[in-house]
Structure 1
Amino acid sequence: MPTSVADDIDILVKAKRSIAGDYSPQADEPYMNDAQLDYFRRLLQAWKKAIHESSADTLQQLQDGPIREPDLNDRASSETDWGIELRTRDRQRKLIAKIDSALRRIEEGEYGYCEVTGEPIGLGRLIARPIATMTVEAQEAHERREKISRDD
């Protein structure tokens, strides 16, 4: 069974393939021009749709019936697998909220800019993680502060 992060990456790759066409954002273009914004809007919408489809499959499997494994070890293994699957779906539910937030930022003209510094996040980072809200440097500083406060 794939990990949650691997599952998210697979779904994002599927979304990127679904919108593949003649256009991909290039560094030599004006940053966050209409074509780039349209690309990221379509990517985010496709990603959200793929997550919903994946969730619908899980829901259907849950509705098909309870786990009926005669062996206790098999039943425990199946229940563990379901627990992992449900945690993955919960993680994806939270991811949908972040996707919705990114779509809102596109509409408000804030997409692609760091919420901390106001600097451009960068195309490479946004292509890899379309819901990014901070530059790599700001994210690293945030994580260092988080680690220090956790260690206290």
Structure 2
Amino acid sequence: MSSAKKTESQATPFSFQPYPLVEGEEYMNEPQVEHFRRILQNWKKELMREVDRTVSHMQDEAANFPDPNDRATQESEFSLELRTRDRERKLIKKIEESLENLERGDYGYCETCGIEIGLRRLEARPTATQCIDCKTLDELREKQIG
């Protein structure tokens, strides 16, 4: 598993109860919209807390080590932390876009073909913008191209 995917999946909000499916219920009705709004907002809050923790940690741990090896180790650790936060910054942007789509009534529908993405897929990946079929086709094209 790549480190980008690992970080994103580690940041996924798993502390929610799955939406109870009701047969015949309209897709993306008000209770479902609220369910996903809560998931996205909580996820964003948690990522923002991580950003604050990183800034605080880097300020507290910053030291001018006389030993070049110690200094290199610290710079390497900070670099890794900053790359992780950069990925999370991009994820926060995706979360904000998902919240905007939710407000517009576009959330939960595939941006490629327009069909319902599905509640369980959205719970697994709340920022999903494609149904599983379109996403699979995109990944196959990517693989073939290079």
Partner of 1:148: 144
Equivalences, count: 143
- The match for 1:108 is 104
Identify unmatched segments of 5+ residues in structure 1: none
Of 72-81 and 55-64, deviating more is 72-81
Structure-2 residue corresponding to 1:124 = 120
5+ residue gaps, structure 2, are: none
Q: Which has the higher contact order (CA 8 A, sep 6+)?
A: 2
CA distance in 2 between counterparts of 1:27 and 1:67 reads 57
Query: Are 1:25 and 1:123, in contact at CA under 8 Å, matched by a contact in 2?
Result: no
Of all paired residues, the percent bearing the same amino acid is 42
Distance change >3 Å, CA 88–CA 106, structure 1 → 2: same
TM-score under structure 1 normalisation? 0.82
2:19 matched to 1:24? yes
Supply the distance in 2 between the matched residues of 1:6 and 1:56 (Cα, whole angstroms): 21
**Hey, what does 2:10 align to over in structure 1?**
10
Partner of 1:137: 133
Bigger drift between 98-107 and 77-86 goes to: 77-86
Partners of 2:7 and 2:26 lie apart in 1 by: 33
Give the structure-2-normalised TM-score. 0.85
Out of 90, 95, 119, the residue aligned to residue 91 of structure 2 is 95
